[in-house]
Structure 1
């Protein structure tokens, strides 16, 4: 019988990750599994707890949204530890990409009996931060600004915070001149954003990279080039269906490593966390994380 350690973000979704964990914990314990619960005080604390539990042979569960998922999963990247995800945040985009069940009973059944499978992670490096690993995507541009607004919103939650943050970001955005280096090849583009995607989803269910796969050893690099702002809003609405790929302003490139630079300090984010500006390098780490999915 597996032993689990749940690393909980107590502020997930603007409420408590505990609410999502309780019915799952009941199902796991009724099946005879042991479950320890640890509440994170910070992302660094969450990484420390995850590494310790993984080193003890526990299945490490990230309870919260994409930030805690990327933090805990990234901390376990490159180790033999087994990772599980309990979606309890606003976006839950990596859980969406994995197709995880939403019902606690079904998720418990998967965690108890499912076999770990390797997924890729992304190593993120910049001049001002030590190298770290994340799961979903690295994005640089108007979406990073929008996510920053959503994360700091006190009045709105869930999808509303993303829509409001996006509106605020786009209205104030001016096109950036990007320089991309993908597996040694250079590209110059001007526009709204560049997304290096391991998972297809970001920003509360937007399918920015429908062709991205978490286990193919590649990053899908999505470039949204300059367009009138009214057209950009139309494209944002098309992200749910993938129709944005038909737009000439949208370009998909692929590679194992991408360096993103710009003509000004454009902010970038990774798995819901934004705290730095370009340049940044994202490199895929094939099969680096063992995940129950």
Structure 2
């Protein structure tokens, strides 16, 4: 922690000399009062009682009916959201992490962006999307109010299609923040559920440090129909958010895709190919200082579709979930969008 004169304690991220890019191009808009609210609670979320009570209090205030469902290993979220829609829900609040949110967002985007809105109560191990949207601060009751009544913004929902090591297609998977291949995905794959429960977001950082000194993989990638780029990459990510996850004193994360907006229908590529520790230092500086200058060991691009082909089968991660253990190809694009609550939740 650092003390600023007269302001008390703050985070390291508050004094870094960079401007945090806004996640949306278009302004938010007021939301209406919901009639039926579905609350999806991850089975391992902390303070579940407080979460349910807080959402119930907001629903009682506006006269909405609340439906509560919990996830399980057999039903991680999709089926519950379908049940909410069948019951007439016009708002679904997810109390969980990025994996649970992406499953819910995929169902809502498929049902039509105007049918049901999405509220997020960060209660997972990563919560990258909630951090990017500024939804992690405040009390449970305050965040519940935003999740039900906050202003609305259109959030792009990506669709990732993979082909496994035998060339067979894998069922497409939704994502809200990022999808990719390389050492980043291997870090996710090696992070155990128990470790995530104990360490939270730091668990991914610990796993990532183990992958940091290792060599990258020969991969080719491109956006849309542009020429292929080929090289030995540590990681290739297609991201929907300018903010990538961080740990420790830099918990706010690094801005490596500064042009990324979550409502523009495009994906931004962040491809890292460091050859020495100096390249890693340059990449870290670029993320922390939010620089747009060319950076050694870092390639960036933007497009409507991103295709990645490794020379050997590699795992694919989407929002912190492994969606294919051994993939020969990954194709990602924006498949739809959903209206997400991000405002302060004040009633008119």
TM-score band, normalised by shorter chain: 0.7 to 0.9
Aligned match for 2:125, one of 90, 110, 114: 90
Aligned match for 2:271, one of 206, 223, 226: 223
Show the counterpart of 1:283.
Answer: 333
Instruction: Decide which moves more: 204-213 or 91-100.
Output: 204-213
1:95-125, Cα deviation, whole Å (9 max, x unpaired): 1122225223332333343343322111111
Change (3 A) 1:131 1:52: same
Instruction: Decide which moves more: 118-127 or 23-32.
Output: 23-32
Aligned ranges 1:110-149 → 2 under 5 Å:
110-128=146-164, 129-149=170-190
Q: CA deviation at 1:267?
A: 1.8
| TM-score under structure 2 length normalisation | 0.74
Change (3 A) 1:292 1:138: same
- Structure 1's unaligned 5+ residue stretches are none
Give 1 or 2: higher helix fraction: 1
Helix, strand or coil: the match of 2:104? helix
Query: CA RMSD for the aligned pairs?
Result: 2.6
Instruction: Decide which moves more: 41-50 or 265-274.
Output: 41-50
- Structure 2's unaligned 5+ residue stretches are 1-32, 165-169, 247-251, 343-348
Aligned ranges 1:1-293 → 2 under 5 Å:
1-2=33-34, 3-12=36-45, 16=46, 18=48, 21-22=51-52, 24-31=54-61, 32-42=63-73, 44-58=75-89, 59-79=91-111, 80-100=115-135, 102-103=137-138, 104-128=140-164, 129-152=170-193, 154=195, 156-171=198-213, 173-185=214-226, 186-204=228-246, 205-207=252-254, 208-229=256-277, 231-232=279-280, 235-236=283-284, 239-242=287-290, 247-276=295-324, 277-278=326-327, 279-286=329-336, 288-293=337-342
CA contact (8 A) 2:286 2:295 kept: no
Helix, strand or coil: the match of 2:141? helix
Helix, strand or coil: the match of 2:110? coil
| TM-score under structure 1 length normalisation | 0.87
CA contact (8 A) 1:43 1:71 kept: no
1:241-293, Cα deviation, whole Å (9 max, x unpaired): 4359652211110001111111112222001101423311101135x212222
